[in-house]
Amino acid sequence: MSKQAYKFRLYPTKKQAHALSWTLDRCRELYNAALQERRDAYRMAGKSITYYDQANQLPEIKDIREEYQDIHSQVLQDVLRRVKKAFDAFFRRCKNGEEPGYPRFQGRNHYDSFCYPQGGYNLTHDNRVCLSKIGSIKVKLHRQINGTIKTCTIKREGDCWFVVFACEVESDPLPEKSEAVGIDLGLLHFATLSTGETIENPRYYRKAEKKLERLQQALSRKKRGSHRRKKVVKQVGKAQRKVANQRKDFLHKASHQIISSYGLIVLEDLQPAHMSKRPKPKQDENGNYVPNGAAAKGGLNTSIVDAGWAMFQQFCTYKAANAGREVLLVNPKYTSQVCSGCGIVNKKELSERWHSCECGTELDRDHNAAINILALGRSVQARA
């Protein structure tokens, strides 16, 4: 069994949209209050408050704040469970020596969903979802839901509302494939396969960059708190969501194509978050700052983020698990420098796009890297 999420667009009436927004605001207030209680209890008394301590207070909260009686009880419990998860992640990061990141209070634009974890929702045959304490809302079911629905999450994106059903489905393995492929992810081509094929980079953010720049400039000219500023904020968010949706659609299709065609997929274990960090400032002997290539690195970082390598790896991994395929991540060190023909290291600058070796191997740099990645994956598979 595996878990799969189905996301559908909701079309609430004005009254229903107001009820959804009102519920979201009350959930955000409860989240912030629970976070404040935990922080104050530890700071003043050195005491840690658990999820069960706060969940047991919900009946008293409903007596004091009667508006919370109009929200399903499991939705409120899930809000407190989110606070618990935030603190669990904080303590885990502290234990592992990572940057802790203490849980934050959620602002109006940063708390965008609430969840029915077990009950309180129902999907009818006439394309409507019935939510407890809210009503029956029209939903666009653009594909069939497989498996058993476990949770129902209501999510707000700008002015649009969505419902996300998390389902438990049986794995559906694809027919066995003996072919293996190594994939080199890049910027000139999004992916170069060891077979010599390439998947072109769509560069959705770069194509929308001028429009986004124009909207950001319009936003900077608006007075804070004005209606015109709020209007432009929505336009900026809509443009950014379009780019994100285009990128996600492309990555879903590309990963599906790879998983359907090959039995073993070998990828580099890239760390895009580290690769896209800004360069450290440089100083001369007098303490004056000197050029450090930040402008060029900033453009490269934008292209790396726009490509979505990490999301592609994630999609390939979970789709391979459901389809009975295998994905291996190998060390990317020297994959572009080693000759795929003889194994000799031929160091090249990033601008050199052609691999030429004394052994007679002549091919594209990314194609050479993809062949080396496949060879590394086969060696890892053989040792395992």
- What does the domain layout of the chain look like in residue ranges? 2-169, 180-383
SS3 90: helix
What average pLDDT score do residues 28-43 get? Answer: 96
pLDDT tens across 220-264, in order?
999 999 999 999 999 999 999 999 999 999 999 999 999 999 999
pLDDT tens across 109-125, in order?
899 999 999 999 999 98
8-state DSSP, 333: T
- Helices and strands in the chain: count of H runs, count of E runs: 10, 16
How many whole angstroms separate alpha carbon 53 and alpha carbon 116? 21
Q: Backbone phi, then psi, for 191, in 5-degree steps?
A: -145, 140
What average pLDDT score do residues 313-329 get? Answer: 92
Cβ atoms of 198 and 191 within 8 Å: the answer is: yes
pLDDT of residue 176: 87
Cβ atoms of 5 and 152 within 8 Å: the answer is: no
pLDDT at 1 over 80: no
| 66-75, 96-105, 297-306: least confidently modelled range | 297-306
- Name the residue among 268, 254, 271 with its Cα closest to residue 316: 254
- Name the residue among 45, 40, 44, 35 with its Cα closest to residue 87: 35
In the structure encoding, which two tokens stand for residue 317, read together? 């991994």
| This prediction's pTM | 0.86
180-383 topology per CATH? Nucleotidyltransferase; domain 5 (3.30.420)
Q: What does pLDDT average to over the chain?
A: 92
What average pLDDT score do residues 9-38 get? Answer: 96
pLDDT of residue 360: 83
Radius of gyration, alpha carbons of the chain? 26
